[in-house]
């Protein structure tokens, strides 16, 4: 064994001796494929600059397998797309407005059948919880939308709410400040704080598109952020269940071929494009950078005590993929 291989092997053995009872949580993903979708976009006439049909066709023609149209406080769900075809599925949804002591907040309700009208509560956390509960009542999946938009949703509000496992770590609408500003943290930092506190929460990326005819950084266009969900089939309930439980990755342009978790190792096979470089950062408890590599596949071996490990891939053009956290659990 060369000295290059010897040191990591010794460190790994030392970790196993020191932490024999801890390992990565492994999910059974046998027989599953990846399905790309957008779960936050606007389509009807008063919320977009085109027709509902054109919006559906944009996503259908641009490499997506599913779409949730989330117009405000109404379900936009054209009947001709209700049935899944071999390659495309429309899932009903809505962006719900809540008012907490007259301050407006927004939650997405995915795979709900009946429109939820604006809900009122006497506090901002109360308004979020009321919206979440209304979505769960319909067996739908709630998402905290654009937490940094108007700085409505901070870490303590998320922690005070229950039953919502998803939040937008990236939203393509200008002014949603996913990266934070000089006084507010980036949403990735918020994510690490939530995960470090023990909260199981997953980061989604979405378009929040309103503009389909004029393309510019100043407007909200389709194709900026999406999710890729692992599922046995293109079926709404399974896609939604797997999204809600973290079997997906989010992206603004980086694709992966597979994400393989073993008891003490994470391996990511990145889908490479010509002349593009990829850097994978593995991040652990407290948002600490554990390991960074430009290799493909990117491999991380569990070598220190962590509550979770997540990975972010950045390409040389600035696009990202965010893998969902893998939790470290005790052996039974
Ligand atoms: Zn929206």
- From ligand 1's centre to the CA of 237, what distance in Å? 22
pLDDT in tens, 164-223: 999 999 999 988 888 888 888 899 999 999 999 999 999 999 999 999 999 989 999 999
3-class DSSP state of 238: helix
CA–centroid distance, 107 to ligand 1, in Å, is: 9
Distance 84 CA to ligand 1 centre (A): 24
Q: How far is the CA of 95 from the centre of ligand 1 (A)?
A: 6
- pLDDT score at 17: 45
- 208 CA distance to ligand 1 centroid (A)? 5
Measured in angstroms, how far is the CA atom of residue 301 from the centroid of ligand 1?
39
* Distance between CA atoms of residues 331 and 77, nearest Å: 45
Q: Is the pTM of this model over 0.85?
A: yes
The answer to whether the CB of 145 falls within 8 A of the CB of 131 is: no
Task: Give the SS3 label for residue 164.
Answer: coil
Q: Please state whether the peptide bond connecting residue 297 to the residue before it is cis, i.e. omega within 30 degrees of 0.
A: yes
pLDDT reported for residue 14: 45
- Which residues contact residue 135 at a Cβ distance below 8 angstroms, ignoring those fewer than 6 apart? 96, 107, 109, 110, 112, 116, 141, 142
Cβ-in-10-Å burial (0-12, 13-18, 19+) of 318 comes to exposed
Ligand 1: centre distance to CA 33 (Å): 28
CA dist 287 → 52, 134, 193, 195, 270 (Å): 41, 33, 7, 9, 22
> Count of alpha carbons within 13 Å of 138, Cβ hemisphere only?
21
In angstroms, what is the span from residue 273 Cα to ligand 1's centroid?
31
* Ranges of the chain whose pLDDT falls below 70: 1-20, 80-86, 332
Q: How far is the CA of 27 from the centre of ligand 1 (A)?
A: 31
| DSSP-based three-state secondary structure for 84 | coil
Residues 6+ apart with CB under 8 A from 85: none
Residue 113 CB neighbours (<10 A): 10
């Amino acid at each position: 064994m060369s000295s290059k291989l010897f040191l990591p092997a010794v460190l790994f053995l030392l970790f196993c001796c020191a932490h024999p009872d801890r390992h990565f949580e492994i999910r059974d993903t046998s027989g599953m494929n990846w399905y790309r979708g957008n779960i936050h976009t606007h389509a009807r006439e008063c919320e977009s600059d085109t027709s509902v049909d054109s919006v559906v066709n944009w996503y259908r023609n641009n490499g997506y397998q599913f779409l949730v149209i989330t117009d405000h406080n109404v379900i936009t769900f054209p009947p001709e797309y209700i049935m899944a075809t071999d390659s495309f599925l429309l899932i009903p949804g809505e962006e719900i407005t809540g008012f907490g002591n007259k301050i407006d907040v927004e939650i997405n309700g995915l795979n709900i059948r009946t429109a939820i009208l604006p809900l009122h509560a006497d506090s901002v956390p109360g308004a979020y919880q009321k919206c979440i509960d209304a979505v769960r009542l319909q067996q739908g999946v709630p998402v905290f939308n654009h937490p940094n938009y108007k700085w409505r949703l901070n870490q303590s509000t998320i922690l005070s709410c229950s039953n919502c496992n998803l939040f937008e770590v990236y939203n393509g609408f200008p002014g949603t400040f996913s990266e934070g500003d000089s006084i507010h943290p980036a949403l990735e930092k918020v994510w690490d704080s939530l995960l470090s506190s023990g909260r199981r929460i997953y980061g989604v990326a979405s378009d929040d598109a309103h503009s389909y005819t004029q393309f510019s950084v100043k407007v909200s266009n389709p194709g900026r952020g999406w999710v890729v969900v692992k599922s046995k089939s293109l079926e709404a309930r399974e896609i939604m269940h797997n999204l809600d439980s973290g079997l997906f990755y989010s992206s603004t342009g980086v694709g992966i071929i597979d994400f393989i978790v073993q008891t003490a190792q994470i391996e990511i096979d990145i889908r490479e494009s010509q002349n593009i470089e990829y850097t994978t950062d593995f991040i652990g408890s407290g948002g600490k950078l554990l390991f960074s590599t430009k290799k493909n596949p990117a491999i991380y071996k569990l070598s220190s005590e962590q509550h979770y490990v997540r990975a972010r891939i950045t390409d040389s053009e600035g696009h990202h993929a965010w893998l969902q956290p893998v939790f470290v659990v005790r052996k039974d």
